[in-house]
Amino acid sequence: MKKYIIVFGMAAIAAACGNDAPKTEEKATPATSTTTSNSLSSNPDYQKGLELIGKSDCLTCHKVKEKNIGPAYQDVANKYENNDENIALLASKIIKGGSGVWGAIPMTPHPQISEDDAKQMVKYVLLLKK
């Protein structure tokens, strides 16, 4: 059984790292509530984070409202309070990768993303709290 988990994890990592095609099918979308949507879309943290996520490979493993390979952004937002400590923690996980918090499949590291950009992405995600 352990072999299957390792093989599946490696396949997920390979799939996440090997997709350089432009992402046209799925884009991160604002929350469905009109009031929430309007207030979020005018938020500069929301706008910049959405732009950075759209340019990265994040949507290979994550969706806004439902679990994919990784957790839904809304689930992350609901788990973590929006504060400087959690923003730094989650930005570090984006850059260095991580595992164990959301299951056995590890998140691949993204060392090419700057700390400032990773923090901006986290700010966007945390704004999606329901």
In this predicted structure, what is the pLDDT of residue 37? 59
- What does the pLDDT profile of the chain (130 residues) look like in tens digits? 555 455 444 444 444 444 444 443 444 444 444 445 568 888 999 999 999 999 999 999 999 999 999 999 999 999 999 999 999 999 999 999 999 999 999 999 999 999 999 999 999 999 999 8
In this predicted structure, what is the pLDDT of residue 39? 81
Prediction pTM value: 0.71
In this predicted structure, what is the pLDDT of residue 73? 97
CATH topology assigned to domain 2-19+41-126: Cytochrome Bc1 Complex; Chain D, domain 2 (1.10.760)
* Sign of the alpha-carbon torsion through 38, 77, 48, 88: positive
Report whether 86 contacts 117 (CB < 8 A).
no
Report whether 128 contacts 77 (CB < 8 A).
yes
Q: DSSP readout, 68-124?
A: SSS--HHHHHHHS-SSHHHHHHHHHHHHH-B-SSS-SSPBPP-TTS-HHHHHHHHHH
In this predicted structure, what is the pLDDT of residue 40? 83
Kindly report the number of other CB atoms within 10 A of residue 31's CB atom.
19
What DSSP character marks residue 18?
A: S
